[in-house]
Structure formats: C-alpha cells, structure tokens
Amino acid sequence: MRYIAIRLGLSVVLLIGVTIITFVLTNLVPASPVTAALGERAAGDPKIVAAYKAAQGLDKPLPVQYFVYLGHLLQGNLGTSIGTRNPVTQDLAYAFPATAELAIFAIVIAVVVGLVLALVAALRRNRLSDQLIRAVSVVGISVPTFWLAVAAYFLFFFVLHWVPGSGRLSAIYDAPPRVTGFFTIDALLAGEPDVFADAFAHLVLPGLVLAVYTLGLLVRFARSSILDVLNQDHVRAARAKGLPAHRVITAYLLRGALLPILTIVGLAFGSLLSGAVLTEQVFAWGGIGQYAYRASTSLDLPSIMGVGLIVGLVYITVNFVIDVIYGFVDPRVRVG
C-alpha cells in the first residue's frame, strides 16, 4: 500500500513535470499563438487581438498563466484548443480512443505474432526458420514506419483496393453511438455489423503498419529471453517429467520468459505512440498523433499541454499496469 502511495505521488510529480516542460517549451517558440489562430484580417486589428488574448488568458504574465492552467487542470479543465475551438478534453476524448484502438490492435498483433515467431526461432535456434525470423525482426525494426505506411497505403489501397481509404470509417457511415470511443467495439455494442466491418477494415492496414516495428522489437527480445529460459534447469526438469510439449512451453518456458517480455511490451508501447504520429499522419487517423502534430505545428498551447498530459498519463498507467502484472505473474514479487 505504501509502495502504491509513493508511486502515485511520484506519478503526480512526473505529470506536473510534464506540464512544466511543455509549457516552457511552447512558450520558447518565437511565434505567438495569437496570430497563429487569427485570420489574415483579424490579426491586423489590435482590438481583435486584444479581445482574443484576454479570452485565452494570454494577457497575463507567464507564471500566472501556468498557475491558472494548473488551477483549471484540477477541475478537469484543460482549456480550449486554439486550433479546433473545442475544449481540449473534448478533443482528447475523441482523439485518444482513436489512437488507443489503433495502438491496442497493433500491440495485440505484435505481441501474439511476435511471441509465436520468437518461440519458433528460439526452439529452432540457428536453423533456417530461426535465421528467417531474425531477418524479419531486423527488417521490422529497420523499415521507416512512415515509408511503410505510405507504401502499404499505396499498394493495398491505391493499387489493389483491398482496404478502404484513410480515416476510421467510410463516409457513408456515421460513427456508432459513443460508448468506448472505439469504433469497432461501439459498432458491436450498437449491433451494427456493417459499421463494425467498415471500422475494422479501416483499422487493419494502419494497425499492421504500426505493429511492424513493435513486432521486430519483440521478436528480438523475446527470442533472447526465451533462449535464456530454455537453458535453465527447470525447463529441462519439466521435460524430464515427460510432460507434453505444449505444457512445457506454456507453463514453464513462456512463464519464465514473461517478465523480460513484459518489460519490452511496456517499452514498445512508447515507441508505438511515436509510430502512431507518423502512421496517423499518413492514414489521416484523427488520433492523438495527428492532433499532436497539428498542435505542435500551429503552436496550439492548450492542445499541446493536453497531449503531453495524456501521453504522460498513458506512460504512467502502462508502467503501473505492468508492475501490477509483474506482481501477479511472479510470486516472488507478490509476497515480497
């Protein structure tokens, strides 16, 4: 309990640190967000500029602005985006599930396929299949995500027409009634199979593109941690017990390799979000990545702060969840 309290405390400190960093960084920008948001004519009118500054609280000194921001933050108010004119919380509530849906799809694919490949490679160490899988993994971590996105989009959409175009849903469909914000799940909940099929079809290509890097990373690490475990006595002991192979592999081998793999999955989640920026840009996904890109190039301070916060929060949550799983999987941690 005390451990959890300390962790939570550290997380809050980390989050505040995140806000300070983003705040300072965005205010270092030589340009002011004011003119960025106003039209050509409006920016030339001092009255409009003044009205705008007052409305955004930009007429106050920077530290005051920061504390005003923190005050609002405590009330769950992240301010209003300069770019979209919506409350940032509302924008994030739309963008975050989009990215989460994509990222979760990608990580599930990467973990499942990655583990299987790593297992095959480790069990058939130095044979042809191992060499091939290792080659696939090196390719996975070496191929530029943005280029892969462009190439895959070109090939599977533009040439082959196997997948629908960019975005999360075809124009003819409306987004399903919002429950989770995941279009696939919401469509199922609403009992709209057409919408589900369409949302899923949109998800597949960007999801696979995004999964490639993580997959490569995972195969690499999982293979070596499986090899580590493979050389441990308890796997040999389990085999000496005459257990069937699937039992040896799932209960003994994989369980032993799980912890280092979990760590990598946590790390991979971070790289997944990075990949998402580039992938979303190509696929016009409308998630956090695209939002962050728009925000940082248009100096949309409230949006950037919002992205920083939510991403920091995700990072902290993922690490926390992984710690919890650690405890769950490893009795040594659980009891100690």
Partner 1 sequence: MNHLPARLAALTATAAAVALIVSGCSAGGGSTQSSSSKTLVVDNTFDLKTSDPARAFELTGSIVDKALYETALTFEGSDVTKPVPQLTTYTMSDDNKTITLTLNGKHVFSSGNPVTIDDIVWSYKRVQGIAGNPSFLLTNLSTGKPFAIEKTSDTTMTITDTAANPALPFILPNPSLGVLDEKTLEQHGGTTDKTDSAEQYLNGTSAGSGPYELSSYNATSKVVFKLNPKYVGTKPAFGRVVLNNVTGPSQKTDVQGNQAQLALNLNSQQVSGLESGSIKVAKFTSSNLGYLWLNQNASVSGGVTNQPDFVKAVRHAIDYKSLQTIAGTGSTQPGGMVPSQFLGSLASDENNTTDSAAAKSDLQSSGYKGQTITLSYPTDATLDGVSFADMAQSVQSNLESAGVKVKLNGLPIATLLDSFRAGKLQAGLMYWGPDFPDPSDYVTFSPGEGLGLRAGWTKDMSPSVTKAKEAAIAAQGDARASAYEAWQKAANADGAFVPLLQAARYQVTNGVSGNVPNAIWTVDLATVE
Partner 2 sequence: MTAVQLPRRRALRVPVAWRRPAAIAGSVVLLAWVLVALLDPLLGLQDPLQQSVGDAFRAPSAAHPFGTDALGRDVLSRTLWGVRSSLPLAVALVAGSLVVGSVLGAVAGYLGGAVDEVIMRIADLVFAFPTIILAMVVAAALGPSLLNAVVALLVVSWPNYARVMRSLVLGARGQEYVVAGRLLGAGPFTSLRRDVLPNVSAPMLVLAMLDFGNQILLLAGLSFLGLGAVPPTPEWGSMVADGVTQFSSWWLATFPGLAIFSVVVAFNLIGDSLRDALDPRTAGAVQGSSI
Partner 3 sequence: MSGLDIRGLTLELGGRRILDGVDVEVPAGQVTGLAGESGSGKTMTGLAVIGLAPAGAKVSGTVAYDDGEVRVPDLLALRPGAMNRLRGRRIAMVFQDPTASLQPMLSVGTQLTDHMRHHLHLSRSAARTRAAELLERVRVPSPEAALKRYPHQFSGGQLQRIAFAIAIACEPKVLIADEPTTALDVTVQAGVLRLLRELTDDLGLAVLLVTHDLGVMSAVADTVAVMRNGSVVEHGSRFQIITDPQTAYAKELVESLPHTPPPGTGEGEA
Contacts of 323 (CB under 8 A, 6+ apart): 7
28 vs 224: CA distance, rounded Å: 44
Position among 14, 50, 70, 234 found at the interface with partner 3 (CB under 8 A) = 234
Position among 239, 250, 284, 317 found at the interface with partner 3 (CB under 8 A) = 239
By CB under 8 A, residue 199 contacts partner 2: no
Q: Which of residues 124-143 bind partner 3 (CB under 8 A)?
A: 125
Position among 74, 128, 174, 191 found at the interface with partner 1 (CB under 8 A) = 174
Query: Hey, what are 115's tokens?
Result: 């583990």
Query: Hey, what are 36's tokens?
Result: 């960025």
**Residue that has been written with the tokens 């999982």 in this structure:** 222
169 vs 194: CA distance, rounded Å: 11
For the CB of residue 261, give the shortest distance to partner 3 in the complex, in Å.
Answer: 13
By CB under 8 A, residue 112 contacts partner 1: yes
Q: Which of residues 66-95 bind partner 1 (CB under 8 A)?
A: 83-86, 91, 94-95
The contacts found for 29-38 with CB under 8 angstroms, 24 or more apart, are 29/299, 31/299, 32/58, 32/299, 33/58, 33/82, 33/298, 33/299, 33/300, 33/301, 34/58, 36/82, 36/298, 36/299, 36/300, 37/82, 37/83, 37/298, 37/300
For the CB of residue 332, give the shortest distance to partner 1 in the complex, in Å.
Answer: 27
What Rg do the C-alpha atoms of the chain give, in angstroms? 24
Binding mask 187-226 vs partner 3 (x if CB under 8 A, - otherwise)? Answer: ----------------------------------------
Q: Which of residues 147-186 bind partner 2 (CB under 8 A)?
A: 147-148, 150-151, 153-154, 158
Position among 6, 12, 51, 251 found at the interface with partner 3 (CB under 8 A) = 251
Q: Which of residues 223-262 bind partner 2 (CB under 8 A)?
A: 224
- Applying CB under 8 A, the residues found at the interface with partner 3 are 125, 232-234, 236-244, 247, 251-252, 255-256, 258, 329-332, 335
